[in-house]
Amino acid sequence: MTLHLLLTDILVWVLVLLFVLLGWRMGRSVQIRRTWHRIFRSKVAMASAVILLFYILFALLDSVHFRVDNANEKNALREGEIVSLLDLGMLHRKHYSERTYSAPFALREYTKSTVVDEQGRARQRYLPLCYVKDGDYIRQSVLGAGLGLLIALGFILVHWVWRRKREEETVLPWLSAYITFALLFMLFGCMYVMSFSYHVLGTDKVGGDVLYASLKSIRTGVLIGTLTTLVTLPLAVVLGVSAGYFRGWVDDVIQYLYTTLSSIPGVLLIAAGVLTMQVVMDQYADWFASTLERSDLRLLFLIVILGVTSWTSLCRMVRAETLRIAKMDYVTAARAFGVGKMRIMLRHIVPNLMHIILISVALDFSGLVLAEAVLSYVGVGVDPTMYSWGNMINQARLEMAREPMVWWSLFASFIFMFILVLAANLFSDRVQHVLDPRNVS
């Protein structure tokens, strides 16, 4: 197997690197450390941060891709296929798909099919599923949960010892983080162990495992939520700060730019962008070696389009705040000392905009995850072949009209999305509460 990073993989790891660098740099400032301490002093913030990290972990596992060179019968891979670390962990559910719908934990298919028996008569039968083993599910779930708990306890112990060693006086509610962490591990351990014998969340129309699809969708959702900021932040901050600092014609041009962009209804602008992109991609279909690379490029384009259409509100806020800061005495003093314009902007203005930027990043994340679903429904979202909650919902819409209903795809995407968005909303609430200067009292 050789490492084969997709374009979005590279960007994700660049983003991780940037975050680590930024965290390391900001961690040296006592003031910033204190702010983060205040954010995490809430139990809810701690718990939701753990959930977010859990999702991000899955997204990262799914962002290391390999090209298969040594395909054989035993490892169930195909030559030249591109798989991620997550796929390798879920191989038992990646390729072995059933024929059609089956309910969670079912041993037989959901609908009857016609079979011809020995006497040559056609009968309607619920056919047995191919890749399930009936076993003792209580034992298996206890085993899985126990295993998860054990691993979680191991991590917690290491962290606890490390904290004791540093002898740091902490006020953070670590207990709630530990409990969430252990619960998540138990839940996942339980599902993972059971997934070897059952389709834990059922199968979809073509027999694909829904749990696998939901886990794969995490990457799409998290990437859209995070990578978009890579596009928005530079645009919003550079333009906003220059408009607020230079004033005059620069301000006029930038204001004109964002008023124009924001006056176009968001979904329509995104739709127009994606339609155009589709036309271009159809014209140059031979650019892409595989459907995976094609859908990956489409995801990247979608992220860029989302970023280009959503920087305006942050830019407006950054501009207003820069106008305010630029009038303050310390900026005047810096200017009197002969500090250059670039330096004033970088050292004296941008650091003081951090709270606005952080609030907006945190708030945008959940909105973008939700937007992905709507865009997929409209037909301008990610590639239809890509795993995403939007595509799952889109399919499930037709399944709900069936008799009897096929509810598990919708249920799975609902739960996976709801937990992520809820955690993101709760966390961003806390960030906003702590960082918003209006809440100082």
Partner 1 sequence: MFAYIIRRVLYAIPILIGVNLITFMLFFMLNSPDDMARAQLGAKQTTPAMITAWKAEKGYDKPLFYNEKALGIEKVTDTLFVQESLKLFAFDFGRSDANRDIGREIRERMGPSLSIALPTFLIALVTNISLALLLVLFRGSMLDLSMMVAAVMIMSVSGLFYIILGQVLFSKLWHWVPISGYAHGWEGVKFILLPVFIGVFAGLGSGVRWYRAIFLEQINQDYVRTARAKGLSEIRVLFTHVLRNGMLPILTGVVVIIPSLFMGSLIMESFFGIPGLGSYTIDAINAQDFAIVKAMVFLGSVLYIVGLILTDISYTLFDPRVTL
| 317 binds partner 1, rule: CB under 8 A | no
| 392 binds partner 1, rule: CB under 8 A | no
DSSP state of 287: G
Q: State how far the alpha carbon of 113 is from the alpha carbons of 68, 123, 126, 193, 203, in Å.
A: 36, 8, 6, 30, 16
Q: How far is the CB of 372 from partner 1 (least distance, A)?
A: 9
392-401 contacts, C-beta under 8 A, 24 or more apart: 392/204, 392/210, 392/213, 392/214, 392/217, 395/204, 395/205, 399/101, 399/205
Q: How far is the CB of 410 from partner 1 (least distance, A)?
A: 7
Q: How far is the CB of 400 from partner 1 (least distance, A)?
A: 6
Q: Is the alpha carbon torsion for 355, 360, 361, 363 positive or negative?
A: positive
| 425 binds partner 1, rule: CB under 8 A | yes
Query: With respect to partner 1, which residue has the nearer C-beta, 345 or 370?
Result: 370
Binds partner 1 (CB under 8 A): choice among 29, 75, 170, 259: 259
Distance linking the first and last C-alpha atoms of the chain: 57
Binds partner 1 (CB under 8 A): choice among 21, 76, 150, 280: 280
Query: With respect to partner 1, which residue has the nearer C-beta, 322 or 432?
Result: 432
Query: With respect to partner 1, which residue has the nearer C-beta, 191 or 380?
Result: 380
Query: With respect to partner 1, which residue has the nearer C-beta, 270 or 326?
Result: 270
Whole-angstrom distance, CA of residue 346 vs CA of residue 3: 38
**Contacts with 48 (C-beta within 8 Å, 6 or more apart), sequence order:** 422, 423, 424, 426, 427, 430
Contact (CB, 8 A) for 98 and 204: no
| 253 binds partner 1, rule: CB under 8 A | no
Encode 277-298: b = buried (16+ Cβ within 10 Å), e = exposed: beeebeeeeeeeeeebbbbbbb
Q: Residue 48 has which token pair?
A: 């939701």
Binds partner 1 (CB under 8 A): choice among 19, 160, 330, 418: 418
| 285 binds partner 1, rule: CB under 8 A | no
| 76 binds partner 1, rule: CB under 8 A | no
Q: How far is the CB of 80 from partner 1 (least distance, A)?
A: 30
Q: State how far the alpha carbon of 307 is from the alpha carbons of 27, 74, 270, 300, 314, in Å.
A: 28, 43, 10, 11, 11
Contact (CB, 8 A) for 352 and 326: no
| 281 binds partner 1, rule: CB under 8 A | no
Q: How far is the CB of 316 from partner 1 (least distance, A)?
A: 13
User: 333: burial class by Cβ within 10 Å (0-12, 13-18, 19+)?
Assistant: exposed
Binds partner 1 (CB under 8 A): choice among 151, 261, 339, 358: 261
E strands of 192-339, at which residues? Answer: none
| 250 binds partner 1, rule: CB under 8 A | no
Among the candidate windows 7-15, 83-91, 285-293, 409-417, which touches partner 1 by CB under 8 A? Answer: 409-417
Q: How many CB atoms lie within 10 A of CB 415?
A: 12
| 12 binds partner 1, rule: CB under 8 A | no
| 284 binds partner 1, rule: CB under 8 A | no
DSSP state of 129: P
Binds partner 1 (CB under 8 A): choice among 56, 82, 231, 393: 393
Query: With respect to partner 1, which residue has the nearer C-beta, 330 or 418?
Result: 418
| 415 binds partner 1, rule: CB under 8 A | no
Instruction: Name the site residues for partner 1 (rule: CB under 8 A).
Output: 256-257, 259-265, 267-269, 271-273, 275-276, 278-280, 283, 366, 370, 373-374, 377-380, 389, 393, 396-397, 400-401, 405, 410, 414, 417-418, 421-422, 425-426, 429, 438
